[in-house]
Structure 1
Amino acid sequence: MSLIPSIRLLDGTNIPWLGWGNGTGVTSSSNAVECGRLALESGVLHIDTAQNYKNEKETGEAIKTSSVSREDVYVTSKRSRAPIPFDEVLNLIQESLDKIGFVPNLFLIHSPFVAEGGDLKALWKIFEDLKDQGRLRSIGVSNFRPQDLEAILDGAKYKPVVNQIEYHPYVLAHSHYA
């Protein structure tokens, strides 16, 4: 059991407010597994990974090799720059799910800066459709500015449950998100 409090999201699910990021400080595959396992066994029951980090498989392995049951772990993953057409986005999301080995609790658009010719609104619609199909659970965004949120909210079926903003000792200033 974790002593870290949770926050209730818009869709009624709860997310631990502190998590282990399997990104910046992770230097190798074995390091990703070991650090993730140690975080879980220390009571940090939220692991954050992403396609960009190239360690989604290791995140799944960290959970499997830890003494913590999968049901007690909250996992966030993120889809990187979005290629359009639709089928490519679906394939890349499915690739993430296959690497992790399960559907994460939360899946995010990693950045509002989609691939050239991409459309944030179209990408958000894909996330909504996958949520409706049960292929994604909670859906949200990461590092979105107000104008990026406005772009997807107009006509959206679901609001993002979070806007995860990068914040750590290497990145502290965020006036452009206000």
Structure 2
Amino acid sequence: MLNDLSSTTTLHNGVEMPWLGLGVFKVEDGDEVIHSVTKAIENGYRSIDTAAVYKNEEGVGQAIKQSDVARDQLFITSKVWNSDQGYQSTLDAFESTLARLQLDYLDLYLIHWPVPELNKYKDTWRALEKLYKEGKIRAIGVSNFKESHLAELIKDCEIVPMVNQVEFHPHLTQEPLRAYCRDHHIQLEAWSPLKQGELLDDPILTEIANHHNKTVAQVIIRWDLQSGVVTIPKSVKEHRIISNADVFDFELTAEEMSQINAMNKDDRRGPDPDAFNKY
């Protein structure tokens, strides 16, 4: 299952999604993101995760276009931003995303945040279902949805989300949400798996890393994968991009997994999805 960067999980519609990919949150458009994506692909990454609000889709698209890897070997994800939620505005936003990426289709398209006060995510989801049925997206999902948001969406939707991308790291293990997603065959995906660097000096993780002759970042990424969580660590430096993927030659013991699980503090680095209303 977890042999190398080509290892995939199968989503509930049969689409295969790489377990490990590159995230490009806060990576500058232009040379920086082109370099980051290019080096990732050159070093075996096949999954790239961007979003409209990152404002770097054009650079991601340029790197894909310049790549020697065939399009059908890549897994490209983007997300509709809050200000574009709603049925028609989501359809329009998707076409703009495709144009910026210079692609004919996406592998995965996500609703970036539920934004409950907008009360538009059901209409947004109907647009994603339409695009999915038309073959313009191979898989559809959500991001930052709690159990309550998922339950409300599933109550009325035709297609259950295939992916839920959320903040997930040893200080925020999201156990109830993970159980809910498992019960509904929704693949959990981690953003900010390293808690934006805050965990890299943790003594428990450091001890485990030393035992395996690995870095703390590698231990966290391996913990994600062994937890059944897809992960997309971000880096703009080639040596770190390579290092983040060097996690397939060791395995954490059951005791080490339990130690890391016990680090949970329900501590978010990002906003609470129930309260986040930026658009």
> Which residue of 1 is the match for residue 102 of structure 2?
101
Give yes or no for contact 1:120–1:151 (8 Å, CA) kept in 2.
Answer: no
Q: CA deviation at 1:109?
A: 0.5
1:144 aligns with 2:145: yes
Q: State the alpha-carbon separation in 1 of the partners of residues 265 and 51 from structure 2.
A: 21
CA contact (8 A) 1:83 1:118 kept: no
Partner of 2:130: 129
Return 5+ residue gaps in structure 2 as ranges.
Answer: 167-190, 200-263, 267-271, 274-279
Deviations 1:44-90 (A, max 9, x none): 11000100111111111111212322221111111110445533222
Provide the rounded CA distance (Å) in 2 between the counterparts of 1:82 and 1:174. 32
Match of 2:205 in 1: none
Within 5 Å, give how 1:23-172 maps onto structure 2: 23-24=25-26, 26-83=27-84, 86-102=87-103, 103-113=105-115, 117-165=118-166, 166-170=191-195
Q: 1:31 to 1:72 in 2, by over 3 A?
A: same
Letter in 2 for 1:160: P
SS in structure 1 of the partner of residue 195 of structure 2: coil
Aligned-partner residue type, residue 128 of structure 2 = F
Structure with higher RCO (Cα < 8 A, 6+ apart): 2
- 2:57–2:100 CA contact under 8 A, matched in 1: yes
CA shift for structure 1 position 111: 1.1
Classify 1:95/1:9 alpha carbon distance in 2 versus 1 (closer, same or farther; 3 Å): same
More deviation, 61-70/148-157: 61-70
1:99-153 Cα offsets, whole Å, 9 max, x none, are 1112110111111126x53422111111111212223221001111101101210
How far, CA to CA, are the matches of 1:56 and 1:152 in structure 2?
28
For residue 7 of structure 1, what is the amino acid of its counterpart?
T
- After superposition, give the CA deviation of every residue in 1:147-176 in whole Å (9 maximum; x if it has no partner): 110121002111111101223323577848
Q: What is the distance in 2 between the residues matched to 1:14 and 1:84? A: 27
Compared with structure 1, are the counterparts of its residues 130 and 33 closer, same or farther at alpha carbon in structure 2 (3 Å cutoff)?
same
* 1:15 counterpart letter in structure 2: M
The alignment-based identity, stated in percent, is 32
Larger radius of gyration: 2
Change in CA separation of 1:36 and 1:122 when aligned onto 2, cut-off 3 Å? same
Please state whether the residue corresponding to 1:58 is helix, strand or coil.
Answer: helix
> How many aligned positions are there?
174
Aligned equivalents of 1:164 and 1:174: distance in 2?
A: 19
How far off is 1:91 after superposition? 1.2
Structure 1 CA distance for aligned equivalents of residues 119 and 101 of structure 2: 26
TM-score (norm 1): 0.88
Question: In angstroms, what is the RMSD of aligned CA positions?
Answer: 2.2
What's the counterpart of residue 9 of structure 1?
Answer: 11
What is the Cα deviation at residue 27 of structure 1? 3.0
Distance 1:27 1:84 in 2: 24
State the TM-score, normalizing by the size of structure 2.
Answer: 0.57
Aligned 8 A contact 1:50 1:80 in 2: yes
Tell me how far apart the structure 1 counterparts of residues 113 and 86 of structure 2 sit (CA, whole Å).
18
Q: Secondary structure at the match of 2:82?
A: coil
Q: Which runs of 5+ in 1 are unaligned?
A: none
